[in-house]
Structure 1
Amino acid sequence: MRSKRNDNYSTIQLYGLVILRVLIGWYFLYEGLAKVFTPKWTAYGYLMDSQGVFAPFFRMIAENQSMMAAADFINIWGLTLVGVMLILGLLEKASYIGAALFLILYYLSHPPLLHVEYLLPTEGSYLWVDKNLVMLAAVAVLYFFPTAMRIGMDRIMLKNKSK
């Protein structure tokens, strides 16, 4: 049963949610642009370094040249696009779904498990919860508390559509 949408946020709630959306958008945008401007960037090493239950799946992608090319393209341009969409508040729900898919894949490829070491250093010591899972939770909150119809391009698009 779907409840009636209520986005009557206080000013501080609205600005807090918008700031969170923009910060997550910046993170995605910068990650994408860093890859765009890194010559010959590839996710190959990252995928080959995968651990855990899904490691064979991620290594299979890395070992297949065409799948690897697709993964690189999706990573570079998907991160960039999701970032721009979140910052602008454009197609908000779709951008949250895209962000969630990236974060789930990153979490599954490099799960924070005990006694697992990755080639690339992490920011700290984790057990089950890492920055990807925390950001995924934040994206889920934003999905259920949308803001782009109040502050974002979705509001402008809706106004133009209703004219």
Structure 2
Amino acid sequence: MNNPFSLNTLQLYAMVGLRVLTGWYFLYEGIIKLLHPGWSAFGFLMSTEGVFSGFFHSLAENSISLDVVNFLNIWGLIAIGIGLITGTLARIASLAGALLVFLYYLAHPPTIAAQLMPGSEQALWVDKNLIFTLLLIVLYAIPTSQVNGLDRLIFNKSNTHGR
């Protein structure tokens, strides 16, 4: 197995494990939303705070944009999850995931004021969404799917045809 990243075997498989487990998390979140017919991002969007709350509220208040957000959220989570698990277009999935989770972060930034809300996560500045964002950027930067994933087959095929 060709390893262009200068990672030892343990490091490579640890990164693959992170990619697959992160993918499972995304896939599961998307499927749960898909299987719950009443699920909507409305409550999440309307409870946003901070600088971007007006933007998120406007998405929730318009039924067409809310339908688009719901569709993109469900199917985006599912597609990102499948891409990361199988290693198919995993770099694109990593960037899409980082963007999606960073939007979650912007919608509910873990500030001191947020700590006063009941049921809040009790994090200050750094929460799971920010950690996931950085994790997905790392997965983008170290594309293990080209060593251990379907991207290896996809990109090796196109490279062979180009020669």
**Normalising to structure 1: TM-score of the pair?**
0.91
Q: Tell me the distance in 1 between the aligned counterparts of 2:143 and 2:21.
A: 15
Aligned length: 157
Q: Aligned ranges for residues 14-163 of structure 1 at < 5 Å? A: 14-116=12-114, 117-118=116-117, 121-122=119-120, 124-161=121-158, 162=160
Name the SS of the counterpart of 1:148 in structure 2. Answer: helix
State whether residues 30 and 80 of structure 1, in contact with CA within 8 Å, keep that contact through their aligned partners in structure 2.
Answer: yes
Instruction: Describe the shift of the 1:69–1:118 C-alpha distance in structure 2 as closer, same or farther (beyond 3 A).
Output: farther
More helix by share: 2
Q: Secondary structure at the match of 1:132?
A: helix
Q: Secondary structure at the match of 2:82?
A: helix
Gaps of 5+ in 2: none
Deviation at 1:118, TM superposition (A): 4.7
**Partner Cα separation in structure 2 for residue 17 and residue 118 of structure 1:** 36
Assess if the C-alpha contact under 8 Å between 1:91 and 1:154 holds in 2: yes
TM-score (normalised: structure 2): 0.91
Structure 1: stretches of 5+ with no match in the other structure:
1-5
CA contact (8 A) 1:29 1:84 kept: yes
**Aligned-CA RMSD value:** 1.6
Q: Deviations 1:86-118 (Å, cap 9, x if unpaired)? A: 001111211111101111100000100102245
Q: Do the aligned partners of 1:49 and 1:118 also contact (CA within 8 Å) in 2?
A: no
Of all paired residues, the percent bearing the same amino acid is 43
Q: Look up the equivalent residue of 2:20 and give its one-letter code.
A: V
Q: Take 2:21 and 2:52, find their aligned partners in 1: how far apart are those partners?
A: 29
